[in-house]
């Protein structure tokens, strides 16, 4: 007879687990597990004056702020298309405004404080606090950079979630400027439900993202140097030391003796001790593992900043067959994001104002519609450039051989090749074939209509061919029968 097993009820206060691992020896998986005590806690607000102090006094932090900003403007830009006059006009106007230096400064302040603006002093007949009249632009006098710390967005007159005015409290004075006369630089985007409301519109300062890693990297290098002071520990042995310290003036005697030995060691580079009852020795402290810890902090700082150690610390790539190409690719991706988020829209707006001013002064007959394109960040070495040129030469040879084959077939004419070379210095076979009229393209493939006599002659040959084939079959069959007999 089967009996029901007694139901086990857990004790009061006990933890009931339905899955997972539990180790009662090291408390893993239990309420006493120390690993479950870790919780994330956000840092408090960082005053703007503290950001300024870090930038001015911490060389590593200032390099993290400056390097991507300078790299974003290092190679310049170009206009997409054959517009040499417009490109020269725009380049001269930007040089007169000192655009490269001002834009780099704006990106630096945006990374340092979260945001910045460039105020454009435009001659359009209106005040700086009035909306820009684009149809009355006569010129642009200068541009100035102001960081978020001294700029206050006016949300009372906001339109579609964007402020229409900015109040600037600079050392040169206070003024209010309309948003249409400003180029805004933001360091990323934050959600509306952010814990830092003051950064919601502008973006987050880089220091808040890298604070802990920057501190660990800086202290690891500093403490590593301090270890040199303790790399060798001096040990002084004295006979009856414990008994001497128990006396009233024993401690003073011991300290005087130690001071005398250290003084003699520092001045004379030698010490004199009693051969009976005294001993002076050195113990070295091993530094194994210290370098790995310092390298780990450097790796973490490089990871959170997206700046490779070759740029941040000036060290060569480590590891077997290491070239650092992957690290530089990640760094250039960061720079390209800065170009797209901070530079492209602002540069496009400024170039439009410059061309409108040139149209008003008669420097151009019509306002060109241009598309900006930043130059490549990656510079090829001489070996890589030679490989690229060799590949291009092989491609050109293949194209030429293909073109000769089509010419021999009569598919295209040599004049079409010359026409393609005259247009842009190269030619595409598929494009040349697409440009040909259909009648010319199919002329070599269509048969001409046959005359009546040719048709009758072809039919007569077909009939004669059939009779000859029948006679051949009969003859072959007879021969096979004779062979069998």
Which among 281, 284, 283 has a CA at the least distance from the CA of 237?
281
Q: What are the counts of helices (DSSP H) followed by strands (DSSP E) for the chain?
A: 16, 10
Distance CA 173, CA 128 (A): 14
**Beta-sheet strand order (sheet of 182-186):** 139-147, 115-123, 182-186
Phi-psi category of residue 308: left, alpha or beta, with phi > 0 → left and psi -120 to 50 → alpha: beta
Which among 332, 334, 308 has a CA at the least distance from the CA of 322?
308
Distance CA 366, CA 379 (A): 36
Q: What pLDDT does residue 3 have?
A: 53
β-bridge mates for residue 278, sequence order:
238
- Cα distances (Å, whole numbers) of residue 125 to 129, 130, 363: 12, 10, 20
Q: What pLDDT does residue 321 have?
A: 44
- Cα distances (Å, whole numbers) of residue 417 to 133, 338, 342, 391, 393: 51, 43, 45, 21, 18
Per residue in 94-112, pLDDT (tens digit) is 999 999 999 999 999 999 9
Which among 166, 175, 65, 68 has a CA at the least distance from the CA of 109?
65
Q: What pLDDT does residue 60 have?
A: 92
β-strands 173-178, 165-170 pairing: antiparallel
Q: What pLDDT does residue 477 have?
A: 43
Q: Could you identify the residue written with the tokens 């890298």?
A: 210
Asked if 68 and 210 touch (Cβ cutoff 8 Å), the reply is no
Token code pair at residue 83: 């517009």
Cα radius of gyration (the chain)? 42
Residue 191 DSSP code? -
Per residue in 377-398, pLDDT (tens digit) is 876 667 767 887 888 888 878 8
CB-CB neighbours of 168 under 10 Å: 20
Asked if 119 and 146 touch (Cβ cutoff 8 Å), the reply is yes
Q: What pLDDT does residue 137 have?
A: 93
Which among 341, 314, 67, 31 has a CA at the least distance from the CA of 186?
341
Torsion of CA 358, 361, 363, 367, to 10 degrees: 40
Distance CA 373, CA 380 (A): 19
Token code pair at residue 352: 């439009």
Q: What pLDDT does residue 237 have?
A: 81
Which among 298, 326, 306, 118 has a CA at the least distance from the CA of 206?
306
Torsion of CA 246, 252, 258, 261, to 10 degrees: -130
List CB contacts of 94: < 8 A, sequence separation 6 or more.
100, 350, 354
List CB contacts of 157: < 8 A, sequence separation 6 or more.
163, 164, 165
Token code pair at residue 447: 């048969």
Q: What angle do CA 162, 165, 167 make, to 5 degrees?
A: 125
List CB contacts of 230: < 8 A, sequence separation 6 or more.
285
Is 308 in a helix, a strand, or coil? coil
pLDDT < 50 regions, the chain: 1, 319-322, 441-442, 444-451, 455, 469-485
β-strands 372-374, 173-178 pairing: unpaired
Q: What pLDDT does residue 320 have?
A: 42
């Amino acid at each position: 007879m089967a009996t029901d097993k007694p139901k086990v009820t857990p004790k009061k206060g006990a933890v009931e687990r339905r899955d997972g691992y539990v180790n009662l020896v090291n408390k893993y998986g239990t309420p006493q597990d120390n690993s479950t005590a870790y919780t994330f806690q956000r840092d408090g607000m960082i005053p703007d004056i503290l950001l300024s102090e870090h930038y001015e006094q911490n060389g590593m932090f200032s390099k993290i702020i400056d390097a991507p900003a300078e790299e974003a403007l290092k190679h310049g830009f170009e206009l997409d298309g054959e517009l040499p006059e417009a490109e020269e006009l725009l380049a001269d106007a930007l040089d007169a405004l000192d655009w490269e230096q001002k834009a780099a400064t704006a990106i630096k302040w945006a990374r340092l404080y979260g945001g910045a603006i460039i105020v454009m002093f435009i001659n359009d007949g209106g005040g700086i606090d009035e909306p820009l009249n684009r149809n009355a632009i006569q010129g642009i006098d200068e541009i100035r950079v102001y960081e978020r710390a001294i700029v206050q967005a006016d949300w009372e007159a906001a339109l579609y979630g964007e402020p229409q005015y900015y109040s600037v409290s600079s050392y040169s004075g206070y003024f209010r400027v309309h948003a249409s006369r400003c180029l805004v630089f933001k360091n990323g985007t934050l959600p509306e439900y952010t814990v830092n409301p003051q950064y919601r519109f502008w973006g987050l300062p880089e220091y808040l993202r890298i604070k802990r890693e920057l501190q660990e990297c800086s202290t690891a290098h500093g403490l590593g140097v301090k270890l040199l002071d303790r790399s060798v520990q001096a040990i002084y042995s004295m006979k009856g030391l414990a008994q001497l310290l128990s006396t009233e003036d024993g401690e003073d005697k011991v300290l005087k003796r130690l001071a005398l030995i250290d003084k003699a060691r520092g001045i004379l580079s030698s010490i004199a001790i009693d051969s009976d009852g005294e001993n002076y020795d050195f113990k070295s402290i091993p530094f194994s593992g210290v370098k790995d810890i310092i390298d780990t902090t450097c790796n973490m700082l490089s990871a959170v900043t997206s700046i490779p150690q070759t740029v941040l610390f000036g060290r060569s790539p480590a590891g077997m067959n290491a070239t650092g190409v992957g690290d530089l690719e990640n760094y250039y991706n960061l720079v390209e994001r800065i170009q797209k988020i901070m530079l492209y829209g602002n540069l496009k707006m400024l170039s439009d104002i410059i061309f409108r001013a040139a149209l008003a002064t008669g420097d151009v007959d019509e306002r060109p519609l241009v598309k900006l394109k930043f130059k490549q960040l990656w510079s090829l070495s001489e070996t890589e450039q030679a490989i690229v040129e060799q590949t291009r030469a092989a491609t050109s040879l293949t194209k030429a051989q293909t073109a000769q084959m089509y010419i021999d077939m009569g598919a295209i004419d040599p004049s079409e090749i010359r026409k393609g070379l005259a247009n842009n210095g190269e030619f595409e076979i598929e494009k040349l074939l697409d440009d040909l009229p259909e009648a010319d393209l199919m002329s070599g493939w269509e048969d001409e209509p046959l005359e009546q006599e040719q048709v009758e002659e072809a039919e007569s040959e077909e009939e004669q061919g059939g009779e000859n084939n029948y006679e051949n079959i009969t003859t072959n069959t007879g021969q096979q029968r004779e062979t069998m007999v």
